[in-house]
Structure 1
Amino acid sequence: MGKYEVLIGGKGTGIMVPVQVIEAAVQVDDKRLLLFLTDDVPYEEALKIALLDLNEGVKEILTLGGAYLTGSFTDLNIQPNAVEFSFIGDTTWRVEIPAMPFMKLPFIGDPRGVSRPPALKHYIKITASPAPARFDGSR
């Protein structure tokens, strides 16, 4: 998988992201952007949600998806303090960017299908309603 530079207004930012398609870009504030990114991999599409700081680079990247799962990024709804969208199944995903970083225990608290690298500080909160379905269809 390659890395691609984020351009704003046709000018390079020096910030690299590891994907091919920008599904959406949402301005959080004057220095932060939230990008929704995919790899364009048929039948196993994953969504990466990246928070960029234009001065500091990539702050955090979450991955939504799993082996043999595919989704389409649809129904983007930008609210004053959150972004909602659909990706996999009958689930509405909600992303919030708190004013301050927060701590979270690894592997606990994120909805099924979300993965993120272990870190002491996190910048992206994600929830799902209803909970994503399991392989057998149960929630």
Structure 2
Amino acid sequence: MIKKLTNIQIYNNTIIINGHESKVHVDGTCLEAALLVDENYILLFVTFDCPFEEILAIYLLDLQQNRIIDKAKICRMYYTDFFSDLVIVSEKRLSFEFMIEGGWTLALFDKPKKSLSHLLPMSVVKRPFSLTRYFSLKRNV
């Protein structure tokens, strides 16, 4: 189950939950959206407020471990855009618009999946090296 949150803020790159610092730091300055996933995770959409080269960072925060367990960045050199049209499609799937026509679909996994996607070059989506993923990110065609 995914639901929108309003009690999340970012201050000096630190996530603030209900007015308390979480000790979790993220890149970016503008919190675009925060979603509670299955009461155990928070999905954050954060932009960098850079007028000539905007970046959207997506973070999955595990509330029990108080750490980021998965992340992705959508960016392209010398390209700017706005995050918009966030829609919760189902219990584990949502869509949004950023940078490309047609937008994106983010699918959350019930449990971590093995991933070798770091071997495939993706020019727009950047993800750190990891053998497991907690969500997938695909272009809507």
TM-score category (smaller protein): 0.7 to 0.9
Number of residue pairs aligned between Structure 1 and Structure 2: 128
Task: Output the aligned Cα RMSD.
Answer: 1.8
Compute the TM-score of the two structures, normalised by the length of structure 1: 0.84
The amino acid that maps onto 2:112 is P
The answer on 1:104 being equivalent to 2:110 is no
Pairing partner for 2:47 from 38, 45, 48: 38
What corresponds to 1:94 in structure 2?
105
Q: Per the alignment, in what secondary structure is the counterpart of residue 30 of structure 1?
A: coil
Q: Distance between the aligned counterparts of 1:33 and 1:107, measured in 2?
A: 27
Mapping of residues 1-139 of structure 1, within 5 Å: 4-56=13-65, 57-79=67-89, 80-105=91-116, 106-108=118-120, 112-130=123-141
Q: Following TM superposition, where does structure 1 have runs of at least 4 consecutive aligned residues deviating by more than 4 angstroms?
A: none
Compute the TM-score of the two structures, normalised by the length of structure 2: 0.83
% identical aligned pairs? 30
Shift of 1:107: 3.6
What corresponds to 2:6 in structure 1?
none
User: Which runs of no fewer than 5 residues in structure 2 stay unpaired?
Assistant: 1-10
User: Which runs of no fewer than 5 residues in structure 1 stay unpaired?
Assistant: 131-139
Checking the alignment, whether the CA contact within 8 Å between 2:112 and 2:134 is kept in structure 1 is yes
Q: Distance between the aligned counterparts of 1:72 and 1:115, measured in 2?
A: 18
